[in-house]
Amino acid sequence: MIDFAQNTLDGVMAGSSYALLALGFTLIFGVMRRLNLSFGPSIMVGAYLGTFLYVQYGAPSLVVALVAVAGAALAGIYVERLCFAPMAAGAGVASMVSSFAIWMQLEQAAILILPRHTYAFPPLSTAAPLALGPLLVRPDHLIVLACTAVLTAAISVLIYRTRYGLGLRAIINDTVAAHLVGVDVKKSLIVAFALASAIGGVAGYLVLAVDQQVTPMFGMWATIKGLIAMMIGGLGSIPGAVVGGLVLGIVEMHSQWHFGPQIRDLVAYGLLFACLVLRPGGLFGAPPAGETMIEK
Amino acid sequence: MLDVADLVTAYGKIEALKGVSLHVGKGQITCLLGPNGAGKTTLMMTIAGILKPRRGSIRLEGTELVGLSPARIVANGVALVPENRLVFPQMDVRENLLAGAYQRRDKREIAADVERMYARFPHLAERRDQLAGTLSGGEQQMLAVARALMSRPRLLLMDEPSLGLAPLVVAEIFRIIAELNRDGTSVFLVEQNAHMALQVAHHFYLVEQGRVTFDGSPGALAEDEVIQRAYLGTRRTGA
């Protein structure tokens, strides 16, 4: 029973970073109705820049964090300008494929910055685990959980309570009509992309600071975890991203405990598969009805 | 108010507007008639800045609009009620109205304008918290008009506001158009329903295959034999 509770707690902790990744992913998908496969690699560019400063110059954690977030946001803008802005609206497949090409490019760029396979990443906190009754929780995990809660609330306020969010939702509803009421669509999309990538950057920084190491596989890892969490929760849904991330984290921790790390990923993909079959739109989203990838 | 000169807008190699020139008088209702595919919607979308013309000019009281973004054009005082309304379906009525005021920053005045819209369109007031996508066609048209008015336009463009609506609703729309015009808004209207348009418009243009083929007063329009046959049907001769 205590094992079950501890696994669930660990799952929530791991899941909160997935939720953050899914939040960034879903923001881009919700606005553009297109899949940005370069989401994870953009995060990795920021993380590598941060690591570079840490390894070469011993930069403090705060600098590493800021560079990781800013680098991810800039890489996100780069991807938007290259893969999404030039493609006509609805060209979902073209921008997805080009975002895959940029994925490869960014991954190679990261390897050029830091050619070895593994580098140290500054830890978030080295304090001893806290005891919650019989359960243990790592302080750095609590920081991740708090960041996820704060960022999710902030994004919800931004989208539902501000002028910028009103414009963004107008674009999501009808892009032509958004132009007609005076929304600067181009600018709003760049900001949304940068914002989503910055959220990803925060997630990336937190995950790496918990793991205390970074490898070139991180970009792929972030894309896949974020994608699965988003698909489980529902495409383009903020609560869906959070719930999807937490569900994924909890399921992973339990399956790792019972079956080991190899089976853990298998179970995660199985969960995605089951979700796609039973609820194609995800837990919170409407069924995509084919309009997600192929429009008109 | 608005002077369009030698406007050419093309989709690839196909020119939808082949050098359109026309004038919308200040304080007037100007109506554009024409068959499907004549370029009416293309003209409206070009004025609103959604489509970029290949050449020509669009001047609003002397200010060149060609080359400005749609947002700048709205800020200059031009609002389009688009064909098929294009309300924001997943946003409620109030949010649709607020989105219409996107270019404005005066929060208090915006809130006051929302109340004015509710007073002018009582149906919208009843449905203020309802998602726009769940409204009837007529209500969506009212919302599209109200949303456009939220930017406080000097010139209101309307692309077939009567399309697909019941006669009673069409009459209501035209009553509102006349009312807005009395309050000082210039209106440039695309309409297939020439009978309704004849009751409110001060000036008419006919556009066919991307060119203006008639330019005249309501009286001249009613006298024109070709237009009578094509747009007014047999009602005049039959009556």
State which amino acid sits at residue B139: E
Under a CB-based contact definition with an 8 Å cutoff, are residues B16 and B63 in contact?
no
**Residue A286, pLDDT score:** 61
Instruction: Inspect the interface and report whether the beta carbons of A182 and B151 lie closer than 8 Å.
Output: yes
Q: Is residue A272 part of a domain?
A: yes
State the smallest CA–CA distance between residue A106 and chain B in angstroms.
Answer: 33
Provide the sign of the torsion angle of the four alpha carbons A208, A212, A214, A217, taken in this order.
Answer: negative
Q: Is residue A85 part of a domain?
A: yes
State which amino acid sits at residue A131: A
Provide the sign of the torsion angle of the four alpha carbons A271, A274, A277, A280, taken in this order.
Answer: negative
Chains A, B: CB contacts under 8 A, how many? 69
Residue B187 CB coordination number (10 Å): 24
Under a CB-based contact definition with an 8 Å cutoff, are residues B17 and B43 in contact?
yes
CA angle B164, A176, B165 (to 5 degrees): 10
Burial state string for A254-277 with b = 16 or more CB within 10 A and e = fewer than 16 = bbbeeeeeeebeebbeebbeebee
Under a CB-based contact definition with an 8 Å cutoff, are residues B146 and B121 in contact?
yes
Q: How many CA atoms lie within 13 A of B41 on its CB side?
A: 12
Q: Is residue A293 part of a domain?
A: no
- Closest-CA residue in chain A for B88? A173
**Residue A276, pLDDT score:** 86
Instruction: Inspect the interface and report whether the beta carbons of B79 and A180 lie closer than 8 Å.
Output: yes
Instruction: Inspect the interface and report whether the beta carbons of A176 and B95 lie closer than 8 Å.
Output: no
**Residue A152, pLDDT score:** 94
Nearest CB to B71; choose among A169, A176, A182: A182
Convert chain B into a string of H (helix), E (strand) and C (coil). CEEEEEEEEEECCEEEEEEEEEEECCCCEEEEECCCCCCHHHHHHHHCCCCCCCEEEEEECCEECCCCCHHHHHHCCEEEECCCCCCCCCCEHHHHHHHHCCCCCCHHHHHHHHHHHHHHCHHHHHCCCCEHHHCCHHHHHHHHHHHHHCCCCCEEEEECCCCCCCHHHHHHHHHHHHHHHHCCCEEEEECCCHHHHHHHCCEEEEEECCEEEEEECHHHHHHCHHHHHHHCCCHHHHC
pLDDT per residue rounded down to tens, chain A (296 residues): 888 999 999 999 999 999 999 999 999 888 888 889 999 999 999 999 999 999 999 999 999 999 999 999 999 999 999 888 887 666 778 888 999 999 999 999 888 888 888 988 998 888 888 888 888 899 999 999 999 999 999 999 999 999 999 999 999 899 999 999 999 999 999 999 999 999 999 999 999 999 899 998 899 999 999 999 999 998 888 899 999 999 999 999 999 999 988 899 899 899 989 988 888 878 887 655 444 333 33
Q: Which domains does chain B possess?
A: 2-90+154-238 (3.40.50.300)
**Residue A88, pLDDT score:** 65
- Alpha carbon distance A16, A266 (integer Å): 20
Under a CB-based contact definition with an 8 Å cutoff, are residues B2 and B59 in contact?
yes
Under a CB-based contact definition with an 8 Å cutoff, are residues A201 and A72 in contact?
yes
Continuous segment of H or E residues that includes residue A77:
helix A61-79
- Closest-CA residue in chain B for A173? B88
Interface test with chain A among B68, B81, B85, B91, by most A beta carbons within 10 Å? B91
**Residue A296, pLDDT score:** 30
Domain containing A257: what range? 2-278
Give the CATH number, domain containing residue A146.
1.10.3470.10
Instruction: For residue range B144-168, list pLDDT tens digits in order.
Output: 999 999 999 999 999 999 998 999 9
**Residue B238, pLDDT score:** 41
What average pLDDT does range B191-214 have in this prediction? 91
Lowest mean pLDDT among A279-293, B3-17, B68-82: A279-293
Instruction: For residue range B117-137, list pLDDT tens digits in order.
Output: 999 999 999 999 999 999 999
State the smallest CA–CA distance between residue B100 and chain A in angstroms.
Answer: 5
Nearest CB to B75; choose among A177, A178, A182: A182
Backbone angles phi, psi at A252, to 5 degrees: -60, -45
- Alpha carbon distance B148, B159 (integer Å): 12
What average pLDDT does range B198-225 have in this prediction? 90
Q: Is residue A292 part of a domain?
A: no
Longest dimension (CA), chain A: 59
Contacts of A170 in chain B (CB under 8 A): 88, 91, 99, 102
Encoding tokens for residue B126?
A: 């009843």
- Closest-CA residue in chain B for A165? B99
Q: Is residue A71 part of a domain?
A: yes
Q: Is residue A218 part of a domain?
A: yes
- Closest-CA residue in chain A for B95? A166
Pairing type for strands B211-216 and B203-208 reads: antiparallel
Question: 3-class DSSP state for residue A135?
Answer: strand
**Residue A295, pLDDT score:** 33
Domain count for chain A: 1
**Residue A112, pLDDT score:** 86
Instruction: Inspect the interface and report whether the beta carbons of B99 and A172 lie closer than 8 Å.
Output: no
The predicted complex's ipTM stands at: 0.93
**Residue A289, pLDDT score:** 45
Q: What is the mean pLDDT of chain B?
A: 92
- Alpha carbon distance A226, A194 (integer Å): 17
- What does chain A come to in residues? 296
**Residue A235, pLDDT score:** 83
Percent of chain B with pLDDT over 90: 82
Q: Is residue A24 part of a domain?
A: yes
Comparing CA positions, the residue from A143, A123, A122 lying closest to residue A16 is A143
Interface test with chain A among B46, B83, B86, B105, by most A beta carbons within 10 Å? B86
**Residue A278, pLDDT score:** 87
Cα B109 to chain centroid distance, Å, stands at 24
Encoding tokens for residue B72?
A: 């700048």
**Residue A125, pLDDT score:** 82
Burial group, residue B12, by CB count within 10 angstroms (0-12, 13-18, 19+): exposed
**Residue B106, pLDDT score:** 93
Backbone angles phi, psi at A29, to 5 degrees: -65, -45
Longest dimension (CA), chain B: 55
**Residue A94, pLDDT score:** 87
Q: Is residue A175 part of a domain?
A: yes
Comparing CA positions, the residue from A29, A71, A80 lying closest to residue A50 is A71
**Residue A86, pLDDT score:** 83
